[in-house]
Amino acid sequence: MSLTLSRKAQAVKPSSTLAITAKAKELKAQGIDVVGFGAGEPDFDTPENICNAAISAINSGFTKYTPASGTNELKQAVCNKFEKFNNIHYTPDQIVISNGGKHSLTNVFQAILNPGDEVIIPSPYWLSYPEIVMLADGEPVFVRGEQENGYKVTVEQLQAATTEKTKALILNSPSNPTGMIYSEEELLAIADYVVKNDIYVVADEMYEYLVYDGNRHISIASLNEEIYKRTITVSGLAKTYAMTGWRIGYTGSSVEIAKLMSGIQSHQTSNPNSIAQKAAVEALTGDQSSMEMMVREFDARRKYMHEKISSMHHISAKEPYGAFYVFADISKTLEMSYKGKKIETSAEFARILIEDYNVAVIPCTDFGYDDHIRLSYAISIEQIEEGLSRIEKFLMELK
């Protein structure tokens, strides 16, 4: 016997973004005016009608266990949303409500993976994917989305990375961190690849409503019957309705997979919070005007931010069409020096910005793309203006 700990748990990588966030908090606590581009959540408050639904739930005693996979009322509301917005037909027995989208993803991989199964993750990727896959005994396989292709992967690349052990592909559109969206044509090609190789596709559609400039979000499961059978569609309320703290996410899948996930969830967490489920019903079925207002505001900030960055030296970014991030290429600066010292990594770039200019940005090493940073526009336009002008000053110091 010995007091060794779980190797799997110890292999979990603490997020590098935390270091920057901690530094930003420390500076703020000292009364320093920090501009934070790190935010991965909307700056808006949860809309009032949604909060009121939660208050009513409490006042009416809706505070007990619900079915482990969520209430029938919420599952039905999710089905209606899938039907109307995504053009996908699911019945309530195909829906599992979980404690946030991240929990939904965790359930998915626990339900489909056996030890050693490979999961293809296009990079840049949301930093939790590899960890979630490894915690479910899977092996991440990374495929790099090239800048020239809008950071998206091609079917040729996917096919080259596919082996006997490939079990699933993760598809995140609109993407965190790039803000890119896969077109219908691209999705059709990916669907063909998935069906031909007989694997699953886990479609993370968390940002499906945050789409701008006449672009359209298309759900891969809506394309045809064959891809529908192999897709697990994951979404949630956090980003769309400014409900990050409420923790409600959901999946649409085959009944068979939904049953496995409900079983796992029934032992691991039981039902998601009953009050938050009532609030989620209101979010999905009630007045949508607050959400539409948030989308318009994000769009205005997005345009401002992209134009401003495009006018700056040594940094560039493709125009994002979805989510609330600008993915900026800082590769030129990594060859340059600040106060006589070469910068070299995006982590160092971010460290200088927070320490000398009080601006927090996310270095994308843990997103699988070292020479880029992620800037969130889930902050006010005034903050964006101030933060970008500080970054501009920093860039002018580079030799």
Q: Which residues are near ligand PLP by CB under 6 A?
A: 40, 100-102, 126, 172, 176, 204, 206, 236, 238-239, 244, 249
d(C-alpha 280, C-alpha 51), whole Å: 10
Q: What is the sign, positive or negative, of the torsion defined by CA atoms of 108, 44, 216, 277?
A: positive
In the complex, minimum distance from the CB of residue 175 to ligand PLP, in angstroms, rounded to a whole number: 7
d(C-alpha 169, C-alpha 199), whole Å: 8
Q: Based on CB atoms, which residue is closest to ligand PLP, 98 or 166? A: 98
Question: SS3 of 226, please?
Answer: helix
Q: What is the sign, positive or negative, of the torsion defined by CA atoms of 375, 377, 381, 382?
A: negative
Are the C-beta atoms of residues 118 and 95 closer than 8 Å to each other?
no
User: What tokens appear for 239 in the block?
Assistant: 């980003």
d(C-alpha 260, C-alpha 258), whole Å: 5
d(C-alpha 384, C-alpha 380), whole Å: 6
Q: Based on CB atoms, which residue is closest to ligand PLP, 82 or 126? A: 126
> How large is the angle between the packed helices 346-357 and 17-29, nearest 10 degrees?
0
Question: SS3 of 346, please?
Answer: helix
Q: Based on CB atoms, which residue is closest to ligand PLP, 135 or 398? A: 135
In the complex, minimum distance from the CB of residue 398 to ligand PLP, in angstroms, rounded to a whole number: 31
Q: Based on CB atoms, which residue is closest to ligand PLP, 187 or 343? A: 187
In the complex, minimum distance from the CB of residue 386 to ligand PLP, in angstroms, rounded to a whole number: 25
Q: Based on CB atoms, which residue is closest to ligand PLP, 366 or 395? A: 366
Q: Based on CB atoms, which residue is closest to ligand PLP, 144 or 351? A: 144
In the complex, minimum distance from the CB of residue 397 to ligand PLP, in angstroms, rounded to a whole number: 32
Q: Looking up tokens 């619900």, which residue turns up?
A: 66
d(C-alpha 369, C-alpha 334), whole Å: 13
In the complex, minimum distance from the CB of residue 167 to ligand PLP, in angstroms, rounded to a whole number: 19
Q: Based on CB atoms, which residue is closest to ligand PLP, 193 or 241? A: 241
Closest CA to 374 of 169, 217, 151: 151
Q: Based on CB atoms, which residue is closest to ligand PLP, 261 or 343? A: 261
Question: SS3 of 224, please?
Answer: coil
CA angle 373, 385, 393 (to 5 degrees): 65
In the complex, minimum distance from the CB of residue 202 to ligand PLP, in angstroms, rounded to a whole number: 10
CB burial class (10 A; 0-12, 13-18, 19+) of residue 146? Answer: exposed
Are the C-beta atoms of residues 141 and 173 closer than 8 Å to each other?
no
Question: SS3 of 370, please?
Answer: coil
In the complex, minimum distance from the CB of residue 124 to ligand PLP, in angstroms, rounded to a whole number: 11
Cis peptide preceding 14, ω within 30 of 0: no
In the complex, minimum distance from the CB of residue 16 to ligand PLP, in angstroms, rounded to a whole number: 16
In the complex, minimum distance from the CB of residue 178 to ligand PLP, in angstroms, rounded to a whole number: 11
Provide the pairing of β-strand 325-329 with 316-317: antiparallel
In the complex, minimum distance from the CB of residue 237 to ligand PLP, in angstroms, rounded to a whole number: 7
Q: Based on CB atoms, which residue is closest to ligand PLP, 206 or 362? A: 206
Q: Based on CB atoms, which residue is closest to ligand PLP, 186 or 204? A: 204
